[in-house]
Amino acid sequence: MNKILFICHGNICRSPMAEFVMKDLVKKAGLESKFQIESAATSTEEIGNPVYPPARRKLAEHGINCSGKRARQLLNSDYEKYDLLIGMDNTNLRSMYKICGGDFADKMHLLMDFTDHPGEVADPWYTDDFEETWQNVLAGCQGLLKTLNPLQQ
């Protein structure tokens, strides 16, 4: 089983988008039984809050439902629980290292590292560009799925 935790600052925009996009891709590939996919925040600012409405609308435009998702914080114990901890930007990665006490098993990566254009997923909370975030999250999740399951095209 591939256990993946997507992580961003507040767990209301980028990481839940990645969580539900990845769940959708895995379901369409018939691989649901081989994956556990969730998301979390590096901060406590949004804990308990639902997915931010513009992010929820962007997912819904593509037939993806994220109802019931509530923001939660990354825990030190998540490092042992998950195979991969995927951050959206370098600030997230630094916070992930602090919360988890480092990355001794090489589990922490940026989502865009799984694409042909590595970098960061810009935070739409600040950019207000949920389409760009959607495109980056989708490309990252497609690349991640291809990396974890090379037979999927």
Per-residue pLDDT of the chain (153 residues; tens, 9 = 90+): 999 999 999 999 999 999 999 999 999 999 999 999 999 999 999 999 999 999 999 999 999 999 999 999 999 999 999 999 999 999 999 999 999 999 999 999 999 999 999 999 999 999 999 999 999 999 999 999 999 987 654
Q: What is the pLDDT of residue 153?
A: 45
* Number of folded domains that form the chain: 1
Q: List the catalytic residue out of 8, 13, 66, 100.
A: 8
Domain extent for 30: 2-148
Which pLDDT score, from 0 to 100, does residue 151 have? 60
**Collapsed DSSP state (helix, strand, coil) of residue 118:** coil
Q: Is residue 153 part of a domain?
A: no
**Residue 96 and residue 106 in contact, taking contact as beta carbons nearer than 8 Å:** no
Q: Is residue 91 part of a domain?
A: yes
Q: Is 14 a catalytic residue?
A: yes
Is there a catalytic annotation at residue 56? no
- The CATH number that applies at residue 65 is 3.40.50.2300
Instruction: Examine residue 19 and state whether it is found in any structural domain, yes or no.
Output: yes
Cα 52 from Cα 128, distance rounded (Å): 12
In a domain, 123, yes or no: yes
Do the domain assignments include residue 116?
yes
123 catalytically annotated: yes
What three-state secondary structure class fits 110? strand
Catalytic residue, candidates 24, 78, 89, 123: 123
Residues 40, 78 contacting (CB under 8 angstroms):
yes
**Is pTM beyond 0.85 here?**
yes
Determine which one of 13, 14, 24, 56 is catalytic. 14
Q: Which helix (H) or strand (E) holds 5?
A: strand 2-8
Residue 100 falls inside a structural domain: yes
Place of tokens 């649901």: 32
CA atoms within 13 A on the CB side of 84: 23
